[in-house]
Amino acid sequence: MSASLEIQMIAIVVAAACALPGVFLVLRSMAMMADAISHTVLLGIVLAFFLVQDLQSPWLLIGAAVVGVVTVSLVELLNRTRLVKQDAAIGLVFPALFSLAVILISRFARGVHLDVDAVLLGELAFAPFDRVTLFGLDLPHALVTMSVILALTVAFITLFYKELKLSTFDAGLAASLGFAPAVLHYGLMTLVSVTAVGAFDAVGVVLVVALMITPAAAAYLLTNNLRTMLFLSVGIAIASAIGGYWLARLLNANIAGAMATVTGFIFLGVFLLAPQRGMLAIAQRRRRQRMEFAQSMLAIHLLNHEGSPEALEESRVDHLHDHIRWQPKFAGQVVGYATRKGIVQPQGGALRLTDQGRRLAQEAMLQ
Amino acid sequence: MNAAIAVTDLTVAYHDKPVLWDVDLSVPPGVLMAIVGPNGAGKTTLIKAILGLTPAAAGQVLIDGKPYAAQRQRVGYVPQRGSVDWDFPTNVLDVVMMGRYGALGWFRRPGRRERNLAMDALAKVGMQEFAQRQISQLSGGQQQRVFLARAIVQDADVYFMDEPFQGVDAITERAIVGLLKDLRGAGKTVLVVHHDLQTVPEYFDWVTLLNVRRIASGPVSAVFTEENLRLTYGGRIAFVTVAANPATVQAGTALPAITSATA
Amino acid sequence: MDVGQILHALLFDYTLRTVALGTAILGLVSGTLGAFALLRRQSLMGDAISHAALPGVVLAFMLTGLKGPLVLMTGAALAGIAGVLLVIAITTHTRLKQDTALGIILSVFFGFGLMLLTFLQQNPDARQAGLNHFLFGQAATLLAGDVAVMALFGSAALALTLLCWKEFKLLSFDRDFGASLGFPMRRLEVLITVLLVVAIVIGLQAVGVVLMSAMIVAPAAAARQWTDRLGVMVALSASFGALAGVAGTAISSLASGLSTGPVIVLCISAIAVFSLILAPNRGLLWAWLRQRQHRQTFATVNHP
């Protein structure tokens, strides 16, 4: 396999492994916690490295998982003291742990592959150079690691799908049914930590967050169905990975950064163009609804004042924008539309409600 | 004479779903009025829309004949207690002095005059010993009194209060009612979003029944009827027989709704 | 080196003095604006703004070819503001919550910045090498000119905060009430956010993009434990920030190759932990002691 192909395969596996837990992170509003964890796992890696002196050791993953859980626990602890709110707790814990890690690296781990810059950027381009032999096959180390993590992730989500779904949408109900939401919570966070560590070597801290959060967020704007959201997230993440790779090749730039950028572009596209929830769809719907709504408002307004002394005054076309907060131009459009639809009848400068209009008003009021 | 508050055609929609439809309201000066209605009826929205805190799709608000925007100095507001983080680092006196910020205008700091006015207001609500107390250490009733003091110090002519009796103890409730009646006695107009139907006839002289639309509005004796309550609350109201207490029933008063048992 | 020698160096070593001054200004300004951010629950917005600033810095250099502090800070500020606007747009117009929006902007902008940075580095021109330092900060490279710009914008931000003190207090405590008084709360919100961006942008050179958010959160969180008065809290927050800045600079100058950013962050985190545990009244130690005392009293009451 060519290096290019191998890199793309690694990228795909990383993307999928990140996008899956990302769905739950977005739904549970844990995005910034994931950001925190993806920074603090570095400390776990460093400490584990000091113990085993081997960058390939699985202990690094374990160290990272432990620190991930520690991070969540510390934030929870701080939050429970009520001395700081949760957002501040996150903002206190992770920079401290991350700084500690950075200092330990630059003081004691110089010259080892744990380069501080690499932490942030990661360099996928170098991934194929780091190889391992598995079942007689010569594979990049990153591919093996991430594939295992992906398998673990799929297993976790499949096994606990019901519980995850319930505890995400109704934690109280889940608890009362005996599923321990706290256990699931920590399980999810451990998964995030392990994924972050596996991915950091290849893509760095930044991209982990981008791949976890952004595709899931875009998917959430496209569907209400959890299963669909999971598939969409993975699909978008993979598309970002491939797209990012080629963009980076084009520009001769960092692959991880390019991938993050592409997730952003895709999100932007969805944000603007998603059916129903995209900005364009919303604007169109608003315009349509506004006119319909205005019809009802006009009908009700006329009905309310019908038969009263101010009726004539209130139904004058040119005074409509005094009583109802419409711009004169819009008021004209509403009246025109209403006249065409048979809701009102102009009567010498004022408006008279037709029977159809009266029915419309009464229906609107029943809602 | 102008109505203290004149609202016409007020309509508020959220994502194009109506929360308030074409609401008209005319409140004469010197009146203590309750606004009641079921949850989601738009009571808080009504106040917020009048004060310009929520955009309205349609409608006009006049305070004493002039547009609200020109009359801000004459309007006092007591928001819901829960709308604020009581862990904020500030003390009781400081909160009350915030009521003078409008009069101070931009950039000017509150000084001795504001301090004295604030202490006076605190005295009126019986909280002057708490002036230096951190607000997180207050009970619900005390918090409500502080909010009231803040409104009093504004020295407004028209007051809007959002559920001032929510979650306060009985003593505080009585104290607040006393305060409201004093304000009315001084000629102020007070509009209160109220959640407890039982106490409407006792505390208020006017009432507005609201459920997205204005169902009825006027003096309690005329408007607070079983018929209107049914219209307002749909099926969600139960009338219970209560043995008439001679102390509270006066001859000729139409004590509404509390006369028959219905599901 | 002992403390005496360090202090001597801080005062009389021109370079160290300049750097210490710069980080002190950084600490003062971020501590001040950070206090309001904390109270308004916008702590993590600071994180998003710092990360979002990176592409701004790189683009500023790419478009102008200049590496002066003014140019780079302007780029950072514009990018930071763009980031905030996008976060607001996402939370307003979609069902995504603020944490998700922050996560998106943070990672996408930062990734974009990294992509641009590495794209630039193909350029044999060595001038842009300094941009690297925007990741973790290198206060040691602060020049008098840099510090002057920091002082200029920093003091403007502080002056505006002081000027609009009661307006900001109103905004943070009871926004609706402020609006009912006639103050334009949305514009005030824009102003305070812009000042926050300025505070962050000032500190990027010294602390770096990744860790600047700590300088917004930690001094304020620490200060909150010591007092219940807003004015004192803000003053303390500013002081803690400045202290951590100077201490961090001094310490990282002792060892070679240490970025200042992480050291400053450790200093301010230490101050925060110290405050959380030892501050009278709110501190955890005192709470624990109080509990023990209550339990003893309770025990003696029940078992005389």
Residue of B nearest to A283 (CA): B15
- In percent, the amount of chain A with pLDDT more than 70 equals 88
Show residues of chain A in contact with C255, CB under 8 Å: 107
> Which pLDDT does position C132 carry in this prediction?
65
- Choose, out of B53, B86, B162, the residue to mutate when testing the contact with C (most C CBs < 10 Å): B53
* Digit-coded pLDDT (tens) for A200-246: 767 777 789 999 999 999 999 999 999 999 999 999 999 999 999 99
* Digit-coded pLDDT (tens) for A113-144: 555 555 666 666 666 677 777 777 777 778 88
Nearest CB neighbour to B79, from listed C164, C166, C174: C174
Q: Do C266 and A96 touch (CB under 8 A)?
A: yes
Beta strands in chain B (DSSP E): 5-14, 17-27, 32-36, 58-63, 66-67, 75-78, 158-162, 189-193, 206-211, 213-219
Q: Point out the least confidently predicted range of A157-166, A171-180, B50-59.
A: A171-180
Q: Do C230 and B89 touch (CB under 8 A)?
A: yes
- For the cut 50, the answer to whether the pLDDT of residue B260 exceeds it is no
Cα–Cα distance for residue pair A269/A133, rounded to 1 Å: 41
Domain-wise residue ranges, chain C: 3-216
Q: Do C177 and B91 touch (CB under 8 A)?
A: no
**Nearest chain B CA: its distance from A230 CA (Å):** 29
Instruction: For residue C302, give both structure tokens.
Output: 């029940």
- Choose, out of A291, A296, A323, the residue to mutate when testing the contact with B (most B CBs < 10 Å): A323
Show residues of chain A in contact with B22, CB under 8 Å: 297, 300-301, 304
B36 in Cβ contact with B197 (< 8 Å) = yes
For residue B67, give the amino acid letter.
P
Instruction: For residue B131, give both structure tokens.
Output: 């002036």
Is any Cβ of chain A less than 8 angstroms from the Cβ of C112? Answer: yes
> Which pLDDT does position A227 carry in this prediction?
93
DSSP line for A200-220: HHHHHHHHHHHHHHHHHHHHH
* Digit-coded pLDDT (tens) for A247-271: 998 988 888 889 999 999 999 999 9
Residue of A nearest to C45 (CA): A87
Cα–Cα distance for residue pair C297/C292, rounded to 1 Å: 9
**Nearest chain A CA: its distance from C304 CA (Å):** 33
Q: Considering chain C, what is the average pLDDT of its residues?
A: 88
Q: Point out the least confidently predicted range of A99-108, A130-139, C127-136.
A: C127-136
Q: Point out the least confidently predicted range of A69-78, A283-292, B67-76, B122-131.
A: A283-292
Phi and psi dihedrals of C59, rounded to 5?
Answer: -65, -40
Q: Is residue C162 very low, low, confident or very high in pLDDT (cuts 50, 70, 90)?
A: very high
Cα–Cα distance for residue pair C262/C248, rounded to 1 Å: 8
Q: Which domains does chain A have, with CATH numbers?
A: 3-207 (1.10.3470.10), 280-366 (1.10.10.10)
* Digit-coded pLDDT (tens) for C171-189: 999 999 999 998 999 999 9
**Nearest chain C CA: its distance from B246 CA (Å):** 42
Measured CB to CB, residues of chain B less than 8 Å from chain A are: 8-9, 11, 13, 16, 18, 21-22, 24, 56-60, 87, 213
Q: Classify B204 as helix, strand or coil.
A: coil
A51 in Cβ contact with A59 (< 8 Å) = yes
Q: Do A304 and B58 touch (CB under 8 A)?
A: no
Q: Is residue B252 very low, low, confident or very high in pLDDT (cuts 50, 70, 90)?
A: very low
Q: Is residue C304 very low, low, confident or very high in pLDDT (cuts 50, 70, 90)?
A: low
Residue of C nearest to A82 (CA): C282
> Which pLDDT does position A3 carry in this prediction?
79
Q: Which domains does chain B have, with CATH numbers?
A: 5-220 (3.40.50.300)
Q: Point out the least confidently predicted range of A161-170, A193-202, B163-172.
A: A193-202
Tally Cβ neighbours within 10 Å of residue A159.
10
Give chains near B: 3+ CB pairs under 8 A.
Answer: A, C
Nearest CB neighbour to A251, from listed C46, C110, C119: C119
* Digit-coded pLDDT (tens) for B191-234: 999 988 889 999 999 999 998 888 889 999 999 988 888 888 87
- For the cut 60, the answer to whether the pLDDT of residue C126 exceeds it is no
Residue of C nearest to A250 (CA): C119
**Nearest chain B CA: its distance from C31 CA (Å):** 16
Tally Cβ neighbours within 10 Å of residue A81.
13
- For the cut 70, the answer to whether the pLDDT of residue C124 exceeds it is no
Q: Name which CATH class applies to C3-216.
A: mainly alpha
For residue A168, give the amino acid letter.
T
* Digit-coded pLDDT (tens) for C190-236: 999 999 999 999 998 888 888 898 999 999 999 999 999 999 999 99
A102 in Cβ contact with C259 (< 8 Å) = yes
Nearest CB neighbour to C112, from listed A90, A92, A261: A261
> Which pLDDT does position C45 carry in this prediction?
94
* Partners of B219 in beta bridges: B206
Q: Do A297 and B57 touch (CB under 8 A)?
A: yes
Cα–Cα distance for residue pair B95/B93, rounded to 1 Å: 5
Tally Cβ neighbours within 10 Å of residue A276.
11
Q: Considering chain A, what is the average pLDDT of its residues?
A: 84
- In percent, the amount of chain C with pLDDT more than 90 equals 60
**Nearest chain B CA: its distance from C301 CA (Å):** 26
Q: Do C177 and B106 touch (CB under 8 A)?
A: no
For residue B162, give the amino acid letter.
D
Mean pLDDT of C13-32: 90
Q: Considering chain B, what is the average pLDDT of its residues?
A: 86
Q: Is residue A330 very low, low, confident or very high in pLDDT (cuts 50, 70, 90)?
A: confident
* Digit-coded pLDDT (tens) for C134-148: 777 777 788 888 899
